[in-house]
């Protein structure tokens, strides 16, 4: 009864107008691709034997897990809010991968799990099968958007595929090849992230992303149909 009484005491205006509050977002892929590029480059350069010792993984993984893993995972969640399914899948998956890679490395060095015998690591190899399958799917989807993303995903997917084979059969040569493919993917990721950032800052396309002719024609940020307050798109 108290509730009903309070309802009667609050006058309702027949002229009241609904309000819609939009929440524009910066392109989450700027953060996600920079995180991917940084973590992937460092780990890939070590895989390619550009630098490192037996303790290098232990020094790299805290930065990779945070700089690449956490930052990219968060970008994936913001991409979800931006209604970008492709970026959500890629950043969420690869961010989780680098976090898990960091945790696994720390477990190995702490002696909690056995140290792999050289490059033979079938458990990790099977995980890279999963990563490769999802990344190839992302590549197919990115073909509808722009060539920059296709390049990033293609080399990331190819590297994941070779990594799976390398760890399943224990081939150090294929691990090195994986490193070079990931290095190219990281450089492409840096370019794509920089293009998104520069274009957003200038309000026009300064660095080309190679947008597909079949890309959806819409404004940088558009209101979701029938969903007040919901936005869609990154760049």
Strand partners, 117: 120
51 secondary structure, DSSP code? S
Question: What is the C-alpha separation between 176 and 191, in angstroms, rounded?
Answer: 23
Q: Tell me the three state secondary structure of residue 146.
A: strand
> Residue 231: what pLDDT?
47
| 36: alpha, beta or left? (left if phi > 0; alpha if psi -120 to 50) | alpha
> Residue 234: what pLDDT?
57
> Residue 191: what pLDDT?
98
Question: What is the C-alpha separation between 41 and 206, in angstroms, rounded?
Answer: 25
> Residue 117: what pLDDT?
82
CB 146 within 8 A of CB 215: yes
- The neighbour count for residue 44, using CB atoms within 10 Å, is 22
Question: What is the C-alpha separation between 152 and 33, in angstroms, rounded?
Answer: 9
> Residue 58: what pLDDT?
87
Residues of the chain scoring pLDDT < 50: 1-7, 10, 20-22, 217-231, 235
| End-to-end CA separation in angstroms for the chain | 52
CA-wise closest residue to 216 among 93, 76, 88, 84 = 84
Question: What is the C-alpha separation between 77 and 22, in angstroms, rounded?
Answer: 18
Q: What is the DSSP string of 67-103?
A: IIIIHHHHHHHHHHHTT-HHHHHHHHHHHHHHHHHHH
> Residue 214: what pLDDT?
60
> Residue 216: what pLDDT?
55
Question: What is the C-alpha separation between 103 and 161, in angstroms, rounded?
Answer: 22
CA-wise closest residue to 24 among 224, 216, 226, 225 = 224
Each residue's pLDDT tens digit, 46-55: 999 999 888 8
CA-wise closest residue to 40 among 136, 142, 179 = 179
> Residue 1: what pLDDT?
43
> Residue 14: what pLDDT?
53
Question: What is the C-alpha separation between 17 and 159, in angstroms, rounded?
Answer: 55
- The neighbour count for residue 139, using CB atoms within 10 Å, is 21
The continuous run of DSSP H or E covering 176 comes out as: helix 172-202
Handedness of CA 34, 37, 43, 49 (dihedral sign): negative
């Amino acid at each position: 009864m108290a509730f009903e009484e309070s309802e009667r005491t609050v006058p309702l205006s027949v002229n009241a107008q609904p309000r819609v509050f939009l929440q524009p977002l910066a392109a989450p892929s700027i953060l996600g691709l920079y995180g991917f590029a940084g973590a992937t480059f460092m780990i890939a350069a070590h895989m390619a034997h550009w630098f490192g010792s037996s303790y290098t993984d232990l020094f790299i993984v805290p930065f990779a897990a945070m700089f690449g893993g956490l930052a990219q995972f968060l970008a994936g969640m913001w991409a979800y809010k931006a209604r970008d399914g492709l970026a959500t899948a890629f950043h969420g998956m690869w961010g989780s991968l680098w976090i898990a890679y960091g945790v696994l490395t720390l477990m190995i060095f702490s002696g909690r799990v056995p140290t792999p015998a050289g490059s033979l690591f079938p458990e990790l190899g099977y995980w890279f099968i999963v990563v490769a399958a999802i990344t190839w799917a992302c590549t197919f989807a990115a073909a509808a958007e722009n060539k920059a993303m296709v390049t990033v995903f293609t080399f990331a997917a190819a590297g994941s595929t070779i990594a799976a084979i390398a760890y399943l059969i224990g081939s150090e040569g294929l691990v090195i090849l994986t490193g070079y493919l990931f290095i190219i993917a990281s450089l492409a990721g840096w370019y794509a992230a920089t293009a998104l950032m520069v274009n957003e800052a200038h309000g026009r396309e300064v660095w080309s992303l190679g947008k597909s002719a079949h890309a959806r024609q819409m404004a940088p940020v558009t209101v979701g149909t029938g969903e007040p307050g919901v936005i869609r798109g990154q760049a």
